[in-house]
Structure 1
Amino acid sequence: MDQRPSLTMPLVALLVGSSALALGPWLVRLSDVGPIAAGFWRLGLGVPMLALAALAVGQSLKTPPRPLLILIIIAAAFFAGDIAAWHVGIHLTKLGNATLFGNFGSFVFALYGLWLARKLPTMGQVAALVLAMAGTLLLLSGSLDLGPDSLRGDLLTLLAGLLYAGYLIGVDKARPKVEPLTLLFWASLAGAIFLWPMAMGAGEKIMPTDWTPVIALAFSSQLVGQGLLVYAIGRLPPLIVGLGLLTQPAISGAIGWLAYGEAFTLKDWTGALAIAAALVLVRLRPRRRRPT
């Protein structure tokens, strides 16, 4: 009998978290503060939310041991850089470009999972990566616009994707030694401290006139999105987490279709199904040979 723990609940948590994170770009654009300042409020307002959630479920907010705290602060620095570059970039390029390049970190994290396994990927894992990449390109090909006008935004969102991979790797290393909400509380606090001088230095408007978008951003992206993501990272292989995060373009497209009546074409459906198939494929366990 297979004694390995079920991956169903962590996978559901990952997909729900990815859905919440997919709302981020829309809420950033709705906010009336600068893009980096929106990131600061996302983390800053998320800190008390995470503290209340941690206390409610009995997770400690005690300062982690020094080596672990340093690791969390390094991960938070990557996260702050990711948020700053991503938020600025989405104002300088098409949303399709920003989504594609910003999700590059998910591919990097998936490849990190293969490297961590210290063995060649199986045919199923290779097929899953190819399917996910093809599905993402199909979903975003209609809105991509590569050219000199969007180059700065493209480079910023690509940088954001690489920095996000660094954050995910840091969380993956810290996660076995600390509870998810505790980890995210300290990472959010450190990230907010990094983002405040960045927003001030950029000369952005800091204080919102309308608090609704930034509160919604903190709740959806930091408490729900990152909270469920960090929980899943402790229970799923990096390859599955990386592929699961690639559902965000499909979720963003579905939100646009349901909320705004934006066309969801056959090509979009094909891309979304390809990503779903990649997740199913990567979860399949090889059959064991029966003893003869």
Structure 2
Amino acid sequence: MTQAGKADPPANAASGTSTAMVPLGVGVAVLAISSAAPVIRLAAPLGPEVIACLRVSVSALVLALITHRATARALRLLASSRRDALWTILAGLCLAAHFGAWIASLSLTTVVRSVALVSTTPLFAGLFARALGDRAPLRLYVGTAVAIAGTLIMVEPGAASSEQAWLGDLLALSGAVTAALYLAIGRKVHAQLGDALPVEGYFVCVNMVAAVALWIFALTRGAELAPLGVTQTDYLAVLWLGLAPGIVGHGLLNWAVRRVPVHVVSLAALLEPAGAGLLAWGVLAEVPAAREILGAVLLIVGVSVGAWRRS
């Protein structure tokens, strides 16, 4: 007992220091992921399909280099199980659909509307879990109702609304749905394989599948990799998307959930629409309408209330 007591203070001190760094880490993560939407706009000479496939490719390749051992273990494990390999491929296709739809939405609707709508992913994830038999608390349905009210206010027909904007809103919502499916499938695969499947390796595998799918989609649509007017800055913007939001942002969020409850980090991540809106205002001079601000606030409140988690 005495020896254990002597060993405890350093461990506790290290744990306390690590936990104390969580607010800073989460803050940097939110700033990184909030930059995604405005930076996508800055890379506008490149088509949405090209931005999506380059963004995912950068994240996949860099992560594969950083976590090559975990990636190799994940590939070996998935290769030995055809069922889990097929589920992983499906998850990758859902991730590709998420990025493809959401990035395309940013060329059709405002940053605030697009980011707020795609942030409804937790609600769809909770509803999917309920459909699969998991228990869901009353707050899931209350939060969903509030989020729907916020959405209706935000996309109410007006001077800034058009058929094109509505299409962008629908694409953003479909991005939320496909992201929720991607998460649900990931949960299923990890439940089946347990700790034997490295999280980092699985993430790389899914991103690789998404990158291949997006490249096939872009090339079959005849997307131009070097369209007229594109500059080196546009490619640097895509590189930023793959490194900052894709690796730094989500990497820090994953680091944080190992030190504080998941729902705390999830609620902090809901600050992304506010961050993206402020950056769009400052960098792109895109001033959101009053109803868009009100609707986005209600939508995020609904998501935070309804964010489903086990007790």
TM-score, scaled to structure 1:
0.71
Alignment of 1:76-225 (within 5 A): 76-112=92-128, 118-121=134-137, 145-175=160-190, 177=194, 178-207=197-226, 209-210=231-232, 211-225=235-249
Deviation at 1:255, TM superposition (A): 3.0
Offset from partner CA, 1:128-158 (integer Å, 9 cap, x none): 6667777788889899944424233233222
SS in 1 for 2:212: helix
* Structure-2 separation of matches of 1:260 and 1:131: 30
SS in 2 for 1:91: coil
Are positions 1:35 and 2:48 aligned together? Answer: yes
* Structure-2 separation of matches of 1:283 and 1:92: 30
Deviation at 1:219, TM superposition (A): 0.3
SS in 2 for 1:203: coil
SS in 1 for 2:241: helix
Equivalent residue, structure 2, for 1:290? none
Alignment of 1:274-285 (within 5 A): 275=300
- Number of equivalent positions: 278
User: Where does structure 2 lack aligned partners over 5 or more consecutive residues?
Assistant: 1-15
* Structure-2 separation of matches of 1:273 and 1:150: 20
* Structure-2 separation of matches of 1:184 and 1:144: 42
Offset from partner CA, 1:187-241 (integer Å, 9 cap, x none): 1111110011211122222146413111111102321234445667889988767
Contact 1:80 1:194 in 2 (8 A): yes
Structure 1 range deviating more: 266-275 or 240-249: 266-275
Equivalent residue, structure 1, for 2:8? none
Alignment of 1:3-82 (within 5 A): 16-31=28-43, 32-55=45-68, 59-62=70-73, 63=75, 64-65=77-78, 66=81, 67-82=83-98
SS in 2 for 1:33: coil
SS in 2 for 1:59: helix
In structure 1, what residue type is equivalent to 2:102?
W
* Structure-1 separation of matches of 2:215 and 2:236: 20
Contact 2:36 2:276 in 1 (8 A): no
Contact 1:172 1:234 in 2 (8 A): no
Contact 1:33 1:206 in 2 (8 A): yes
SS in 2 for 1:107: helix
In structure 2, what residue type is equivalent to 1:61?
A
* Structure-1 separation of matches of 2:213 and 2:97: 8
Deviation at 1:271, TM superposition (A): 6.7
In structure 2, what residue type is equivalent to 1:38?
I
User: Where does structure 1 lack aligned partners over 5 or more consecutive residues?
Assistant: 1-5, 287-292
Contact 2:55 2:241 in 1 (8 A): yes
Deviation at 1:27, TM superposition (A): 1.8
Contact 2:147 2:299 in 1 (8 A): yes
Equivalent residue, structure 2, for 1:247? 271
Give the alignment's Cα RMSD to 1 decimal.
Answer: 4.5
Structure 1 range deviating more: 266-275 or 211-220: 266-275
Offset from partner CA, 1:84-139 (integer Å, 9 cap, x none): 1222221122333322332333321243456678335155x666666777778888
In structure 1, what residue type is equivalent to 2:172?
T
Equivalent residue, structure 2, for 1:289? none
Contact 2:136 2:308 in 1 (8 A): no
